[in-house]
Structure 1
């Protein structure tokens, strides 16, 4: 029957990514017959079908194939790291790091992290994608991402999380609003105004939940997946919004708006770095978590010193 090999895993991942044996064989520079044989050997070794062959439409992985794909990606990444250490005699941080980040966190998370790797670890190829917490964590489980940054209230049980920094819920108001001079604002004080909510799951539902728990029924006028649109509507005096702010952010997130902390009690939330459960994380992932933890800790201390 033969043993499972790294080459078989490499060819299998190539087929899953390319969607066909023909395209995969070109990607890995071997014949179609070689790729087909490797897949057949894998299926025989594991005793299950890994791919569904669709006539004239290429192939898609079965459920077993999806599970193998996720684990195979991590195995190949770890093997590449071991090879690098053996070749250089050091554990120098290198390779490719695939980061996911929820859209509302990206402006605060991605730029400093990308700059850190660019300046201190140029041998690391830093890639990132934005999306919803659910989609990013599924990509993480599938092996398409090395890590993702989401809010702690969005984490799934199937991932392992590391809290990076506390997030503070704030009410966004137009500059010049009568409440702008306050240190904090309760939901009841804006209850009669129009709410313009960020519509990125589960942000909108959570915002409504928090207000209802405080005895306020929000008057939702508009929602948008685009934070810039929400801010522009608020800046034009058309209502208020809610947003989690991170350490180091000012009370003026954009032209014509200001943010003030919510006075009501709301559940704790934080930025969380999530990684797959049961998988050894490469040093570049550990470095990303280490750097951002220090980055936001210093920003939080600066906030404290200012106040």
Structure 2
């Protein structure tokens, strides 16, 4: 029988690929640097393959084969973890560790309401959170560093499964005294004549706002709101302050408004007239995930939390 690499050896390899530094990789694995180095050297001898280019000095340089083995190691470890997860799920659903990724335009506004509900419903669940932009969360999901994502759909998850959960309505956010604030609702077409303030590239809500306003379909004014010299923000809180300062208008998700993102400002909020003025919050997980049934079971709770927040507002 062909001897197989141990899971620990594969973890050492993945940690080194992630951190690109022996010391930091060893710290992440809670071992000494010499232990990690010996483990990777033993893996190379076992495979009779050179995974690292040691002629590159102190820098960590993987060979072409080393990069391929690293990619396969991620898949192998993910499959092994799925075996353990399946057994744990059969004994006690929604228990143990769950690594949840969430985007910045959802996390700060939904999690304070969702976390108490999760703790109450699943007291044996240990939830670890990672907040990041969509692309990086999807990458972490794919390589097994996250189990489940809470984000805005649609999103491509490389063959994984997505589940729409609830709509999150957009509101027009206007500077104090803006003429559009005299309306009960704001037609999207009227925003074409305004400076549309957006989050910086990488935030999916940037694209959602552009789509709602028709820019993705080639509509709107001659001025391109994605112009690199335009104003952008790194967070919804910054976006609100820019609107309050009279720099332009924007769209805000209802969950952020109900969580108080405009509190303390004179920003005027108005519903959008017409259809399509929302984003869809949803879940995403890897294909054939052992706990897929449990992930689907979270959808009603998330929906109830969002609807309760909107009703309370």
TM range (shorter): 0.7 to 0.9
> In 2 relative to 1, CA 294–83 (structure 1 residues): closer, same or farther, beyond 3 Å?
closer
Which residue matches 2:173?
172
Q: Distance in 1 between matches of 2:88 and 2:9?
A: 21
Matching residue of 2:272: 262
CA RMSD of superposed structures (Å): 3.8
Gap change, CA 1:40 and 1:180, over 3 Å in 2: farther
Deviation string 1:239-286 (CA, Å, 9 cap, x unpaired) is 211233349937974332243232254487311211112332377xx2
Task: Supply the distance in 2 between the matched residues of 1:116 and 1:51 (Cα, whole angstroms).
Answer: 47
Match of 1:229 in 2: 238
TM-score of the superposed pair, with normalisation by structure 2: 0.74
Q: Which has the higher contact order (CA 8 A, sep 6+)?
A: 2
User: Size of the alignment, in residue pairs?
Assistant: 294
Consecutive unaligned residues of structure 2, counting only runs of 5 or more, are none
Which structure 1 residue ranges, 5 or more long, are not aligned?
Answer: none
Q: For the structure 1 residues 258 and 170, does the alpha-carbon distance in structure 2 shift closer, same or farther, using more than 3 Å as the test?
A: same
Aligned to 2:98: 97
User: C-alpha offsets along residues 116-153 of structure 1, whole Å, 9 cap, x if unaligned?
Assistant: 44444454332222222111101111111111122113
2:301 match: 294
Partner of 2:290: 280
Q: Indicate how the Cα distance of structure 1 residues 66 and 275 shifts in structure 2: closer, same or farther if over 3 A, else same.
A: farther
The offset of 1:181, in angstroms, is 5.5
Q: Which has the higher strand share?
A: 1
Equivalence for 1:57:
59
> CA 1:35/1:300 → structure 2, altered by over 3 Å: closer, same or farther?
same
For residues 305 and 235 of structure 2, what CA distance do their matches in structure 1 show?
A: 29
Residue matched to 1:11: 9
Give the Cα separation in 2 of the matches to 1:258 and 1:290.
Answer: 37
| Range 207-216 or range 126-135, more displaced | 207-216
TM-score (norm 1): 0.75
How far apart are the structure 1 equivalents of 2:83 and 2:168?
A: 36
